[in-house]
């Protein structure tokens, strides 16, 4: 869209009968909560948001790495991105149980001083979590400065004990590939979960979740992990938003299972959250590793890959508490038939992984799966802009 000089642009706005809410907007972290991030640090901001570490995140027992009041080039994108629902599910009858994990315990990971709880240029190494170095099928690496690495490049002085690493990954040769990366790690007893958000100069957003292990407990029992991102998009404000699955608008709250091939069929392969008036927004496409089938364990605890719902203040989960032994995610507690046409909407996206053992699932035959239960798996969708984004608002900063 053509950018207009300031005086002419203001005149056109008045002539069109439009108000000043079309001018560039900015986060107010004093109201939203959290710490302001502006990237790049100098010049016009591409991304602005308020960030919180796991220990300060919202919801019962937290929601991991959380960003609020997210703006792209002066336009509100989201009220909140976070992961308030997280499970570890063990194979039925194999000696394990299942757990609704907590998300508010900061854990140690490696980060250079320049990026510890502030935007900075990475130093001698990039932010490194337990997940980033867990490649052994049977051995845990613990937390920073990690175990069982030979040689071990990290020492205690390299460890961020509480918070978020915020790395400026500017690429001068390919500006559109530049991004700012937020990284954190949090613990839930046996597990070390890693959470990241990458915000690109071209408007792309890439959440990533890593399922790391801490001490190897129940390493011999096949299990599944399920992370639910809660993506509370407010495209250009909370009103008039809509959700479409494979281009078909959803009129009421819904649940879906993703296409396992990403190629259509009876299940969607992408979802759009757009402003119903202006037509622009974001498309969510599953990552290559996000395709573990719903309910692979056969226990019936996790039956939906995505949920579309109407925004309800302070509704972050399917349950009002986070009871450790409450294993089932009840999607119908979130999606229960409310209208989401021309509304304030919320989108839940699930990515699950299987930590397999050679001894008990499958038990034998050609389908037997090698043990990889201690290898950290990373998952996450790509979220890309769609429609005609009115980026001319930059001129009014």
Sorted by where each begins, the domain ranges of the chain are 6-396
Mean pLDDT for all residues in the chain? 89
Residues in the chain: 397
158 three-state secondary structure: helix
Q: What is the dihedral of CA 290, 225, 325, 256, to 10 degrees?
A: 10
Contact by Cβ (8 Å): 251, 341: yes
Rounded CA-CA distance 50/379 in Å is 24
Q: What is the pTM of this model?
A: 0.91
Confidence of residue 364 (pLDDT cuts 50, 70, 90): low
In DSSP terms, 99 is beta-bridged to: 88
Confidence of residue 365 (pLDDT cuts 50, 70, 90): low
> For 265-299, what is each residue's pLDDT tens digit?
779 999 999 999 999 999 999 999 998 888 988 89
pLDDT of residue 218: 76
Cβ neighbours of residue 53 closer than 8 Å, sequence gap 6 or more: 65, 106, 117, 162, 163, 164, 184
14 three-state secondary structure: helix
145 upstream amide cis, omega within 30 of 0: yes
> Region 355-360: what's the mean pLDDT?
77
Class of domain 6-396 (CATH, top level)? mainly beta
15-24, 95-104, 174-183, range with greatest mean pLDDT? 174-183
Among the ranges given (62-71, 172-181, 212-221), the one the predictor scored with the smallest mean pLDDT = 212-221
Contact by Cβ (8 Å): 224, 352: yes
> Region 33-51: what's the mean pLDDT?
96
pLDDT of residue 318: 97
4-8, 174-178, 230-234, range with greatest mean pLDDT? 230-234
13 three-state secondary structure: helix
Confidence of residue 205 (pLDDT cuts 50, 70, 90): very high
Contact by Cβ (8 Å): 65, 194: no
Q: What residue spans of the chain are helical by DSSP H? A: 6-15, 29-32, 130-133
> Region 184-200: what's the mean pLDDT?
96
pLDDT of residue 244: 98
Q: What is the dihedral of CA 73, 77, 82, 87, to 10 degrees?
A: -130
């Amino acid at each position: 869209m053509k950018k207009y000089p300031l005086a002419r642009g203001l005149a056109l706005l008045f002539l069109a009968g439009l108000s000043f809410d079309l001018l560039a907007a900015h986060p107010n972290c004093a109201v939203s909560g959290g710490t302001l991030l502006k990237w790049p640090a100098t010049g016009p901001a591409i991304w602005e948001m308020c960030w919180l570490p796991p220990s300060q995140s919202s919801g019962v027992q937290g929601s991991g790495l959380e960003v609020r009041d997210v703006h792209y080039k002066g336009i509100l994108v989201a009220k909140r991105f976070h992961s308030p629902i997280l499970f570890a599910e063990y194979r039925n009858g194999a000696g394990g149980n299942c757990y609704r994990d907590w998300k508010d315990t900061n854990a140690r990971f490696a980060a250079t001083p320049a990026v510890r709880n502030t935007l900075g240029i990475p130093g001698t190494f990039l932010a490194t979590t337990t997940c980033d170095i867990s490649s052994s099928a049977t051995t845990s690496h613990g937390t920073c400065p990690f175990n069982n690495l030979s040689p071990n490049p990290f020492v205690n002085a390299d460890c961020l004990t509480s918070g978020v690493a915020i790395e400026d990954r500017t690429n001068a040769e390919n500006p559109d590939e530049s991004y700012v990366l937020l990284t954190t790690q949090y613990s839930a007893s046996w597990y070390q979960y890693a959470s990241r958000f990458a915000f690109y100069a071209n408007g792309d957003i890439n959440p990533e979740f890593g399922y790391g292990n801490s001490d190897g407990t129940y390493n011999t029992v096949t299990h599944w992990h399920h992370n639910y991102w809660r993506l509370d998009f407010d495209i250009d404000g909370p009103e008039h938003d809509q959700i479409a699955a494979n281009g078909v608008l959803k009129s009421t709250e819904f649940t879906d299972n993703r296409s396992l091939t990403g190629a259509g069929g009876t299940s969607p392969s992408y979802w759009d959250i757009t402003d119903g008036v202006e037509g622009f927004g974001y498309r969510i496409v599953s990552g290559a590793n996000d395709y573990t089938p719903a309910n692979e364990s056969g226990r019936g605890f996790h039956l939906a890959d995505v949920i579309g719902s109407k925004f309800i203040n302070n509704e972050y989960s399917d349950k009002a508490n986070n009871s450790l032994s409450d294993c089932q995610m009840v999607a119908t507690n979130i999606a229960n038939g409310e209208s989401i046409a021309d509304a304030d909407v919320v989108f839940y996206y699930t990515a699950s992984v299987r930590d397999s053992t050679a001894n008990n699932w499958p038990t034998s035959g050609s389908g037997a799966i090698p043990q990889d239960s201690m290898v950290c798996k990373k998952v996450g969708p790509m979220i890309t802009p769609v429609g005609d984004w009115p980026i001319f608002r930059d001129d009014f900063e």
